[in-house]
Structure 1
């Protein structure tokens, strides 16, 4: 991928964040709602559980922000009639989406900060993190893994005109399937294999370890490995799909009608 293109797209995504009110809503109102509902439901839990619940609410906001940046940027380009020109430009659409997804994921960290502020200010929750440094590292790993998944899923937005509905489905389905707020054992057995191939599942897993467990056991390192491997696979598969989409668009000239 072209690093210069990715950085330029990241810069553009940041300007779009400042210019569009919907981003402000995503960064403030959504995490406030997530945190309030979660803390009302679990406010009687032990302090380490409550800290993770607060972090989980932030993860939900991070995922929503990433999907908004990676997916809806395609929708916006299509709406303004510039999507086909991006395909014809020297820089690939994949690189542009990668930059926007990465910026959106990093901006999604604000969700986590805002949720912690809400928990401490309004609910008087004592934030206790067993491994603060590991927690920060796990967060950064989640940022990159969410970006990789956003790139992969953005291929669906390129091919679909029902992108808004698709985005809502993907956002809220991930909250349920990935077990961000509760253990995966609560889910039916038949759906768990899908949970295990999604990085938000393992991102929540390693954050849970860094917040709640006094010692980092084998389960934590398995989570790190799974997040890394799956992120790499997402990038590889996403690159392949974008190459196929680019070929199809140039041969059939059906992008505008897709």
Structure 2
């Protein structure tokens, strides 16, 4: 736990000074403006919750992916990746803690999106089930950190992480039901979307903003936690095996 806490604090300090973080936190309100303008033009103010939640999940996911890739590539370019791997500290734990710090900070985007809906558009998105919203955001942030840590293992094998970052962004927006509910996807694609924790997160967050009672809250929270934990476990295993491979082939520090 001490290693996790120290790595978390280190990454939090870096993130608050990073231009990438500023970029994501600036684009979240802009996305909200676009989505709110579309819903108002269509005279669908009932979709305000969708316009607020979509930028939040997009910010969380994009920043988690960005950190997972840049964490490896930057340490490699600085020549410090070998030292990180050589230390007794568990490298998978360090990666998970640093990504968790970023996803935790990026939850600020929810406040940004809510304020944009309220101030320019005069739409107050009420949180009808605050505890459900809080638990869902916390578990979603942790699940994103766990899933992104699994992807960071692949970045060790690649000279650059940008290709995978770009490939994993928008497909997950669609499969995760961020832009539109999963029920609007083709029937053959819906079972696949349920393997993506974002689909559970987006549905539950919308339920937290709806006046209707939340149905199956605990099973849906459990699905987010299980899928996130699975990503974390796979990530730890992959990082350990890939590090063993690059050590034996001498390709850890390639650029």
Please, what TM-score do these two structures have when normalized by structure 2?
0.92
CA contact (8 A) 1:27 1:61 kept: yes
Equivalent in the alignment of 2:228: 231
The 1-side partners of 2:137 and 2:164 are apart by 26
SS across alignment from 1:257: coil
The 1-side partners of 2:106 and 2:16 are apart by 14
The 2-side partners of 1:216 and 1:32 are apart by 27
Q: Please report how far the alpha carbon of residue 203 of structure 1 lies from its aligned counterpart in structure 2 after TM superposition.
A: 0.9
Equivalent in the alignment of 1:6: 4
Where do 5+ consecutive residues of structure 1 fail to align?
Answer: none
CA contact (8 A) 1:63 1:108 kept: no
Q: Please report how far the alpha carbon of residue 97 of structure 1 lies from its aligned counterpart in structure 2 after TM superposition.
A: 1.0
Structure 1 residue 112 corresponds to structure 2 residue 142: no
Q: Please report how far the alpha carbon of residue 256 of structure 1 lies from its aligned counterpart in structure 2 after TM superposition.
A: 2.1
CA contact (8 A) 1:202 1:227 kept: yes
CA contact (8 A) 2:49 2:206 kept: no
Structure 1 residue 19 corresponds to structure 2 residue 17: yes
The 1-side partners of 2:208 and 2:18 are apart by 35
Q: Please report how far the alpha carbon of residue 64 of structure 1 lies from its aligned counterpart in structure 2 after TM superposition.
A: 1.4
The 2-side partners of 1:192 and 1:75 are apart by 34
Q: 1:208 aligns with which of 206, 209, 230?
A: 206
Equivalent in the alignment of 1:142: 140
Please, what TM-score do these two structures have when normalized by structure 1?
0.91
Q: 2:151 aligns with which of 145, 150, 153?
A: 153
CA contact (8 A) 1:6 1:99 kept: yes
Equivalent in the alignment of 1:167: 165
Instruction: Report which stretch shifted further, 190-199 or 150-159.
Output: 190-199
Equivalent in the alignment of 1:68: 66
Equivalent in the alignment of 1:95: 93
CA contact (8 A) 2:181 2:203 kept: no
The 2-side partners of 1:57 and 1:51 are apart by 11
Structure 1 residue 45 corresponds to structure 2 residue 41: no
Q: Please report how far the alpha carbon of residue 213 of structure 1 lies from its aligned counterpart in structure 2 after TM superposition.
A: 4.9
Q: Deviations over 1:123-171 (max 9, x none)?
A: 1111222212221121111111111111111112121123112112212
Where do 5+ consecutive residues of structure 2 fail to align?
Answer: none
The 2-side partners of 1:5 and 1:42 are apart by 46
Distance 1:33 1:97, change over 3 A: same
The 1-side partners of 2:119 and 2:189 are apart by 38
CA contact (8 A) 2:177 2:203 kept: no
The 1-side partners of 2:136 and 2:118 are apart by 22
The 2-side partners of 1:112 and 1:256 are apart by 38
Structure 1 residue 32 corresponds to structure 2 residue 43: no
Between Structure 1 and Structure 2, how many residues are aligned?
Answer: 253
Q: Please report how far the alpha carbon of residue 14 of structure 1 lies from its aligned counterpart in structure 2 after TM superposition.
A: 1.5
CA contact (8 A) 2:125 2:209 kept: no
